[in-house]
A = this chain, B = another copy of it.
Amino acid sequence: MVFPQLSRGYDRAITVFSPDGRLLQVEYALAATKRAALALGVKSKEGVVLLAVKKYVSPLAEPPTKIHQIDKHIGAIAAGLVGDGLMLIDRSRQEAQYNKLIYGEPITVKNLAKRIAMFKQQYTQYAGLRPFGVMMIFGGVDDQPELYITHPGGAFYSYEAYAAGMNSDKVNDYLRDGYKPDMSLEEALVLAVSAAAKGQEEPINENTVEMAVIDTKTKEFRLLTKEEIQRIINKLPREEKPS
């Protein structure tokens, strides 16, 4: 923001195009997601792993759960503004329930991500609204493991592994290097934990991360216990393990 006057007017009041076709409020909303704690997902042939770093604003504070069950077979993390995330988690559950009610079957991860992407898009096109400052990560198992991402502007993508939030660029590089298409769920868990460790200055432990899996056998969302998380962290190679 060396020359703040150059962006004057294009990023205010309502979300309009800048002369080069950008929606600056959407880009600023993306910036908001980078200020939030790291969150990531990893897909393996045996299931999907979700991991969220817990940001302790104080040693006396317990942050609210970051990983939320959306449906029996789907979990989600809202990386970004906490309040905005609450709204989108709530909306996601409504979409899942609505799908069951109307079509008589569970929503697919892809359709859920698409519905939320379209919901977000509307907050970028109508005056009197601002975009959601949240990147959503949806993980679940339909016929096979699925991992979907929705951007503040309404785009959505399928990923093998994806990290959002603080230091996500570095962590995504790490995921790219470490990802193997035929990983087992166990390998995915380890990759998730070691990637999270990459993004934190402090060593991670069972109290600073939440984890969940949806495996292809049960097709059920399940939060990991602290013991389970501890067990995975212990599998990290020495230089990544907390001392």
Q: Given A32-B21, A64-B158, is A13 in contact with B11 using a C-beta cutoff of 8 Å?
A: no
Q: Point out the residues of chain B lying under 8 angstroms from A175, CB to CB.
A: 60
With A12-B10, A130-B125 known as contacts, the answer to whether A33 contacts B21 (CB < 8 A) is: yes
Give every chain B residue within 8 A of A30 (Cβ-Cβ): 21
Q: Are A155 and B32 in contact (CB under 8 A)?
A: no
| A202 on the B face (CB < 8 A) | no
Partner of A157, one of B12, B33, B61, B86: B61
B118 and A87 form a contact (CB under 8 A): yes
Q: Mark A185-224, 1 if CB is under 8 A from B, else 0.
A: 0000000000000000000000000000000000000000
Q: How many residues on chain A are close to B (CB under 8 Å)?
A: 78
**Separation of A212 and B238 alpha carbons in the complex (Å):** 50
Distance in angstroms from A143 CB to nearest chain B CB is: 15
Given A129-B125, A154-B82; A1-B16 close (CB under 8 Å)? no
Neighbouring B residues of A10 by C-beta, 8 Å: 11-12
Q: A127-B128, A130-B125, A159-B62 are in contact. Are A83 and B9 (CB under 8 A)?
A: no
What distance in Å separates the Cβ of A149 from its nearest Cβ neighbour in chain B? Answer: 8
Pairs A–B under 8 Å by Cβ, sample size 23: A9-B12, A10-B12, A14-B128, A16-B130, A17-B131, A21-B28, A22-B32, A22-B35, A23-B32, A57-B157, A60-B162, A61-B149, A61-B160, A64-B156, A82-B154, A83-B124, A83-B154, A86-B114, A86-B117, A87-B121, A90-B118, A126-B128, A127-B129
Known: A86-B154, A126-B128. 20 other contacts (CB 8 A): A1-B6, A13-B16, A21-B30, A21-B31, A21-B32, A21-B33, A21-B133, A60-B162, A60-B179, A61-B149, A82-B151, A83-B120, A84-B154, A86-B117, A86-B121, A87-B122, A90-B118, A123-B125, A125-B129, A126-B129
Residues of A within 8 A of B (CB): 1, 4, 6-25, 28-35, 57-64, 81-84, 86-87, 90, 114, 117-118, 120-133, 149, 151, 153-162, 172, 175-176, 179
